[in-house]
Amino acid sequence: MNRRFRRCANIIPYTGSGVLTTALCLDKAKTKEILLQNELATPRGQVLARADDALNRALQFPLIVKLVHEGSSMGLSSDSIVDDENALRRRVAFVINTYQQPALVEEFIQGREFTVGVLGNRELTILPIVEITFDSPRGINLFQPDDPVIEMAAHELGHAPTIPAKMHLAVIPAPINDALAARIRETATRAYRALDCRDWCRMEMRLGADNRLYVLELNPIAGIDPDYLLPKAARAAGWTYAQLVNHILDCALERTRNGN
């Protein structure tokens, strides 16, 4: 990084998490390490740098193959969930060759998926919990056909990415009982603190067949376009879009005034 730019980044206040937190959250393997250190459940997984790397035999199929880095569901398709080692090796090879980075292999948690927006620093606000429903029981959160990320992905890859079955509906607030809602809010708070997030973040988790909540990932730079999930959750709480943006700005302003 240019030395002058680095000095500016340390001087000019900005909203959102710091560089270290953002880098850690964009590295799914590192995120998992920190979650586990803080006794938060996350799917068992392994990083494969090569397609023929030995697989941890403790991992149970079905598995899901992801990019270690990136966000916005980059690298996910209908081929990402695999049921045997041959399919796994093919998908890992595709990820490594296409995206020039290792693959993260995780046990696929088939269950209800929730996304949670968290705002604040010392005092946290948990936005209404969102449940994501899918077209199939093995659905995963993928690109939306009209998502601007598609254009960016096409530019990076040199071709339009494959658009498989997408999420069916975002239900806000999630139709869950008070006990589960409390567990989700507690898990979100602990994950936010564990990764040292600031100002705002959106995270995803699944409820497994064993009734455990598994944190899938945290996005400290979650999209705040009015049609994205975080603003939708804020609207469900009775906030206008302007109130959401101003709340984030107020959080950052208070934080910087306190020297953080």
Provide the residue count of the chain. 260
| CA distances in angstroms from 249 to 13, 106, 111, 199, 245, listed in the order given | 11, 36, 35, 8, 6
Average pLDDT over residues 19-44: 96
Residue 254: which pLDDT band, with cuts at 50, 70 and 90? very high
Residue 78's pLDDT is 77
Lowest model confidence (mean pLDDT) among 137-146, 179-188, 227-236, 242-251:
137-146
Q: Which residues are paired to 203 by β-bridges?
A: 116, 218
Residue 73's pLDDT is 72
Residue in 58, 16, 52 with CA at minimum distance from that of residue 253: 16
Q: Which tops the pLDDT comparison, 79 or 250?
A: 250
Residue in 227, 97, 115 with CA at minimum distance from that of residue 171: 115
Average pLDDT over residues 164-184: 85
Pick the CATH number of 3-42+109-129+172-257 from 3.30.470.20, 3.50.50.60, 3.40.50.10860, 3.30.160.270: 3.30.470.20
Q: What is the pLDDT of residues 41-99, one digit of tens each?
A: 999 999 999 999 999 999 999 999 999 987 667 777 778 999 999 999 999 999 999 98
Average pLDDT over residues 194-200: 97
Give how far the C-alpha of residue 165 lies from the chain's centroid of Cα atoms, to the nearest Å: 19
Tokens of 151: 């254009």
Lowest model confidence (mean pLDDT) among 87-101, 115-129, 167-181:
167-181
Question: Model pTM?
Answer: 0.85
Residue in 42, 84, 82 with CA at minimum distance from that of residue 66: 82
Evaluate if residue 139 carries a pLDDT over 60.
Answer: yes
Residue 2's pLDDT is 54
Q: HEC profile for 194-225?
A: HCCCCEEEEEEEEECCCCCEEEEEEECCCCCC
Lowest model confidence (mean pLDDT) among 128-132, 157-161, 184-188, 230-234:
157-161
Residue in 27, 82, 37 with CA at minimum distance from that of residue 55: 82
Cα separation, 155 vs 144, in Å, equals 17
All structural domains of the chain with their residue ranges: 3-42+109-129+172-257
Q: Which residues are paired to 164 by β-bridges?
A: none
Evaluate if residue 235 carries a pLDDT over 90.
Answer: yes
Residue 10: which pLDDT band, with cuts at 50, 70 and 90? low
Residue 74's pLDDT is 74
Most confident of 6-10, 14-18, 168-172: 14-18
